[in-house]
A = this chain, B = another copy of it.
Amino acid sequence: MLTRIDHIGIACFDLDKTVEFYRATYGFEVFHSEVNEEQGVREAMLKINETSDGGASYLQLLEPTREDSTVAKWLDRNGEGVHHIAFGTADVDGDAAAIRDKGVRVLYDEPRTGSMGSRITFLHPKDCGGVLTELVTAKGAEGSEDPHSH
């Protein structure tokens, strides 16, 4: 069950410049930054608010680290802008399987590692009204929909 907007992923050519734009314009600060070699991105997470499911909503600023990454190719086609949106769930495996059963293409066979140790997968934008859609289970949040697990 998807219980929050986890983040909005924004692709940019220059991460440091974009981080500075969000800080100077809105006062948003970097909560976390990392390089995800598998995804081919350098990223900064700006925490915007906490959410009623015990999680939080972020802006995720993404700069490609190599020319063959999907974000680099996307930037070549589209220029800077919103790259994807992400919904948070306590059960990315179960939700991805249920959504696949409804005929939506899920891009990974098994969830991969996302920001801050989360487990993530993506849905094909052509099956989602043009929106590249990510599902995220935050690290430590697995199964937190089950009240007996607390």
Query: What residues make up the interface of A, taking CB atoms closer than 8 Å to B?
Result: 1-5, 8, 10, 12, 18, 21, 24-28, 48-53, 57, 59, 78-82, 85, 87, 99, 102, 104, 125, 128-131
Contacts and interface: CB of A to CB of B under 8 A. Distances in A.
Copy number in the complex reads: 2
Nearest to A84: B82
Contacts of A10: 129, 131
Contact of A52 (B51, B81, B130): B51
Given A4-B49, A18-B129, A81-B129, 12 more contacts: A1-B27, A2-B26, A5-B49, A5-B57, A8-B85, A10-B129, A12-B129, A25-B104, A49-B52, A50-B52, A79-B130, A80-B129
A49 B87 CA distance: 10
Contacts of A57: 4-5, 49, 51, 57
Contacts of A27: 1-2
A25 B79 CA distance: 29
